Amino acid sequence: MALCLVSALLLLLLLGWPSSAGPNRCVDAAEACTADARCQRLRTEYVAQCLGRAAPATCARARCRRALRRFFARGPPALTHALLFCACTSPACAERRRQTFVPACAFSGPGRAPPSCLQPLDACEHSRICRPRLLAFQASCAPVSSYPDGCMQDQAPSCRRAFAGLVGTAVTPNYVDNASARVAPWCHCGASGNRREECEAFRGLFTSNRCLDGAIQAFDSGWPRQVAGWDPEHRLLQVSSVPGGALEGGCLLSLLPILTLQPLL
């Protein structure tokens, strides 16, 4: 029994609870994805593609991006969106969120300086994968002046879907730092000459778009139940899937009171 209690406490620590750093929704989202076979398989696939098997400085970007598109197309939206839109209150959380979709391969590089946004924009407009996704993003996320608050009613879910649809395209967006929830594709509008306005309009769809910001923030209020860290079912699911079955039977029963107390501690 004592051994059982010790292993139970050890397990709770391993599961990341209780955490001195406070709640980390991006960790919760990652755990929930791990616990789901499909999400886990698709994530393993894009990580394998995006980390590159050749020299560490290179990556198979086209394959990485294809695997990312597949992750969002085939993964359970509640879980894939939780990984993309997890709300953070600490830099550690935001850094994890920024790194989730392997930005070194999917988002930035190969050079150190970002290119002009006209480059990914032109590439997107000539891509039969990217173009309809960018149009959908514009249609679902762009502010509309005829609405009272500038954003279409109930547009948040379709805006988030359209934003997620861009991950893995020529205009892949990501969080720009670990101190904010600002997003942008990896490009700037510094040297865009006579197409400056077009460039700014495109970049502004990401960087100064309160409908997009609102849609991302709104995800938190509807934080999916299967991801919620306090959900005892979710924790139990993980506990019961520990390999070796060391906590099965009577031991698992003695663990139940601890798990129920969890939200109170």
Restricting to residues 91-150, name those near ligand NAG by CB under 6 A.
91-92, 95
Distance CA 190, CA 74 (A): 37
Number of helical (H) and strand (E) elements in the chain, helices listed first: 14, 2
What is the pattern of x (binds ligand NAG, CB under 6 A) and - over residues 176-215?
--x-------------------------------------
Closer Cβ to ligand NAG, 109 or 157, answer by number: 109
Q: Is 22 in the site for ligand NAG (CB under 6 A)?
A: no
Query: In Å, what is the CA distance from 137 to each residue of 53, 74, 105, 121, 244?
Result: 32, 19, 22, 13, 46
Q: Which residue is nearest to ligand NAG (CB)?
A: 95
| Least distance to ligand NAG, CB of residue 179, Å | 7
Q: Are 151 and 211 in contact (CB under 8 A)?
A: yes
Distance CA 265, CA 16 (A): 14
| Least distance to ligand NAG, CB of residue 180, Å | 11
Closer Cβ to ligand NAG, 108 or 178, answer by number: 178
| Least distance to ligand NAG, CB of residue 232, Å | 30
What is the Cβ-side half-sphere exposure of residue 192, based on CA atoms within 13 angstroms?
Answer: 22
Query: Which residues in this chain contact ligand NAG in the complex, by CB under 6 A?
Result: 91-92, 95, 178
